[in-house]
Structure 1
Amino acid sequence: MTILNEINDQLSNEIDDLNAFLKKVTTTEIPLINTLSSHMIDSGGKRIRPIIVFLISKIMSNEKKVIESAAIIELIHAATLLHDDVVDQSDVRHNINTANKLWGNDSAVLVGDFLYSRAFELIVEINRERVYKILAETTNKISQGEVMQLMYKEKIIEDKEKYIEIVYLKTGKLFEASALVAMDIAGSSNHDWAKQFGKNFGIAYQLRNDYLDYFGDDNETGKNIAEDLSEGKSTLPLIHSYINSNTNDKSIIENIFNNKILSDTDKLREIFIKNGSDKYTLEAIDTYTQNAIDAVESNSSYEKALIDLTRYCSTRTR
């Protein structure tokens, strides 16, 4: 049994309640909305962000508005995935056809908008000013991150710090929000550790995705190997390798990247390994993972689960 399975067992009641609540709040009189919403909710995601809400709520001994808060985070996440898959022209996620593949881009974008708006209706119902501010800023920053990534599409980024900024905005902010919202609904004004935990957890999580895209097993990841290459995305292994390559290897990387030559993925990996980019990426994951663990405060059994979750996500194979 994996650590994630153990945590899911520990939180089985909360996760069941969350799934039922998500189904309830996304059911409308419009069949297409119901179908696409169900597809997203049931598509095999790990529910990592809601789990963070649940664990921090338990650390803070809070049971108020927890399911609603976790649902808000998951709805925003689902909306971003719908929009991402359209922008990236993705066909598969978690070994399942994407909504845009099955129902078209128009439907995916519009139902993504519905999920966003439904999340903000729930925010109003929670009626906490701090939560308004956290999630308004978060969705704004996610959008900025998406636009920044689009600006660099089909370009090799040569600035690692710029790439980490994109990762933080696009992925880290929602993990950060998960932790901050959990603290706020518990009535805590000490948000510093939660912010640092969520930010570092989120960056480590995305860098693990970057690593798995080139060095993972597509049967486990549920995505095609080198999908980032096919979508024209620079990620940390490629950025580090390009910066540290000799002139000849830079030309090879440029040719494979610019022409999206997926058949040369093995050659690209060879260059990455020669330049130590696989190890560099793993070391970066370890650094952000440890930063997240160091941020956690408390001595409850749920603190251990939060740390275990962090370690699991930094070494996962899917």
Structure 2
Amino acid sequence: MPWTNFRKNYVSNWQLYVLLLPSAVFIALFAYVPMAGIQIAFKSYDFAKGVWGSPWIGFENFQRFFDSYQFSTILINTITLSFYSLIVSFTLPIMFALMLNSFVSRKFKKLVQTITYMPHFISTVVIVGMLIQIFNPRTGALGAMYTFMTNTMLPDAFAKPDAFKHLYVWSGIWQSIGWGSIIYIAALSSVDEELHEAAQIDGASRLKRVIHIDFPSILPTATVLLILAVGNIMDVGFEKVFLMQNSLNISSSEVISTYVYKVGLTIGSGDFSFATAIGLFNSVINFCLLVVVNFAAGRLGKTSLW
């Protein structure tokens, strides 16, 4: 019986359960208890009546969002930015880790790792400030260089809607590629050197050893990280998008997270029910994608979260 097995396991490892208790309480209080507030997505929230006293209106908030003229634009922007970021941020750290693992010199490898890790510790506000300063057509470094070489002013990248997604994704790669490769480098360090030695004796080139030895060794890790990434694919980073957003690029930069903030928290709006409905819609999409990708990964590669 499952309960009998759990009781035996608890008796023999009760110290571990005591250590786990604070974390479990923390998650219950701050992750599960607040989920009761999701009900306001199906209500017309009234401050005076509170969460439990506000009247039920069913799916009106969801229908209102689906009928909004901004729905298609926001959804397309979110999906485009999410998939673009996922494809680039998932593949490049793997390639970087495989390349870094191929270096013979340990000192050079450590130097490259240190340099590429450093941008991860720069805050999002500073990153966006750096982008604004670099791409400023009048005072930015790139703008000054462009003017010096062409005698014309550099087009303002932050004023072009088409340039927004590229600035967002590739600045994120610069910031996170080194940090994202850590887990793959750790997985590659556990590969048995005898496999490489045997492959070298058989005449395998370095590229073939990477393809047939190194890459399969990190494939299970990459699969799990891909599943987790897909589970958050609709959650485009709010802070960076909001800081990079302006009235000129808003047609490409308005995503679900920024729209929820403006609808629910900005002065003059305060429509908590509508904002909660949009956030719940976003979370349901993420959950469905997580389940589908986890199922597909388990069937195809025998590696999954459950």
User: TM-score normalised to the size of structure 1?
Assistant: 0.30
Q: Which structure: larger Rg?
A: 2
